[in-house]
Structure 1
Amino acid sequence: MNLALPEVRIRKSAIHERLVRGFSQLQGFRLVRNHLQEPHFGQAVEDRIIWRELLELELQEIDEQIERLSTSTKELSH
């Protein structure tokens, strides 16, 4: 399984930094798992990292939708 980050330009932000840290942790778990031959090492933490990031992306999308609706409403009221 290739866990390399895709080559994309991402602005440096708090979300980006958190994703980089999370990805680094996931790679560390994979290395330790392989070394110890323990397939479940760090699985609970790994699951929390992934779910936290997915939820953050969902919340970010909702915030963007609210902002678009707010902007549209302001434009219509003028």
Structure 2
Amino acid sequence: PKLEAAGVPCGPLNTIGQALANPQVKARNMVVHTALPDGTPLIAAGNPIKLSAHADPATRAPAPDLDADRAAILKELGL
């Protein structure tokens, strides 16, 4: 209140819980739901860069296992 009264730009300092509970966090998909390769649910930070021509779903496919795509990548590279 004193800073605001003095005309100093300021805002609240939120805890992590308070920040994640902010409705804008959900609206901007800043927390997304995915799963580990074994199916265990995982909550992760969303991409902060938003582009209107690209979808930004609130859920993501699980990441592949380590080396799961090696053969396909090597084939695409002609190796």
If the length of structure 1 is used for normalisation, what is the TM-score?
0.19
Tell me which structure has the larger Cα radius of gyration.
Answer: 2
Structure with a larger share of its residues in strand? 2
